[in-house]
């Protein structure tokens, strides 16, 4: 596990949020109230979305599901790595920052004590965790 692997999780999470926002915007533009569990579009307006819109929805839903699976896999790998670390402060920092997706300020609040946001960031950056 490298620092780049940990940061990848953060980028996957933000990518997923972006896709979900795009899906909500597309649903709103064609009058769909929520993503159905079967993946088939349903409208709350008279008529149905066009075939192209339905294909767009299906594509975005598939992308979201792929990202969710990728995130779950990376999170399992990160948890496996984190549980092997000897330093409890570094473990907390990695969990809060990369698994929970918190800002450095929130990480500092989470670990408590006298460690600032910059201090948490520096502890992580100086840690020898790369394989």
The pTM score is 0.71
Q: Tens digits of per-residue pLDDT, 31-55? A: 765 555 665 655 555 555 577 778 8
Residue 1 tokens read as 């596990």
Q: Tens digits of per-residue pLDDT, 1-27? A: 888 888 888 888 889 999 999 988 888
Looking at residues 92-117, what average pLDDT do you find?
Answer: 93
pLDDT surpasses 60 at 85: yes
Residue 77 tokens read as 């790998």
Higher pLDDT, residue 5 or 64: 64
The three-state DSSP-derived secondary structure of the chain is CCHHHHHHHHHHHHHHHHHHHHHHHHHHHHCCCCCCCCCCCCCCCCCCCCHHHHHHHHHHHHHHHHHHHHHHHHHHHHHHHHCCCCCHHHHHHHHHHHHCCCCHHHHHHHHCCCCCHHHHHHHHHHCCCCC
Radius of gyration of the chain from Cα atoms?
20
């Amino acid at each position: 596990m490298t620092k780049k692997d940990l940061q990848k999780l953060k980028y996957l999470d933000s990518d997923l949020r972006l896709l979900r926002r795009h899906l909500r915007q597309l649903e709103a533009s064609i009058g769909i109230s929520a993503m159905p569990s079967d993946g088939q579009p349903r409208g709350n307006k008279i008529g149905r979305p066009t075939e192209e819109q339905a294909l767009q929805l299906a594509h975005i839903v598939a992308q979201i599901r792929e990202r969710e699976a990728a995130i779950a896999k990376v999170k399992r790998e990160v948890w496996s790595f984190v549980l092997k670390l000897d330093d409890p402060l570094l473990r907390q920092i990695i969990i809060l920052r990369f698994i929970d997706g918190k800002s450095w300020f929130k990480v500092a609040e989470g670990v408590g004590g006298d460690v600032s946001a910059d201090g948490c960031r520096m502890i992580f950056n100086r840690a020898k965790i790369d394989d």
